[in-house]
Amino acid sequence: MPQMAPMPWTGLMAGVLGALMVFVSVVGAHPTPTEEGVMASQRFSAGEWRW
């Protein structure tokens, strides 16, 4: 993948990682925190916060 915009890409990755950490910290001990975090990040990007 060509790095034509490293700054926005870095900000996007930081936002995703931050959302994942917040989600994991809120949920706590979950059987599959990774999959749930990915789904949560997808809902966040879609503007849907329905659990």
**Burial (0-12, 13-18, 19+ Cβ within 10 Å), 38:** middle
**Pair 32, 24: CB distance under 8 Å:** no
From CA 16, how far away is CA 22, in angstroms rounded?
A: 10
- Report the pLDDT value the prediction gives residue 19, as an integer from 0 to 100: 85
Q: The pTM is what?
A: 0.36
Which sequence spans correspond to the domains of the chain? 9-46
pLDDT tens, residue order, the chain (51 aa): 455 555 676 778 888 888 888 877 776 655 555 676 777 777 776 665 554
- DSSP-derived letter for residue 8 is H
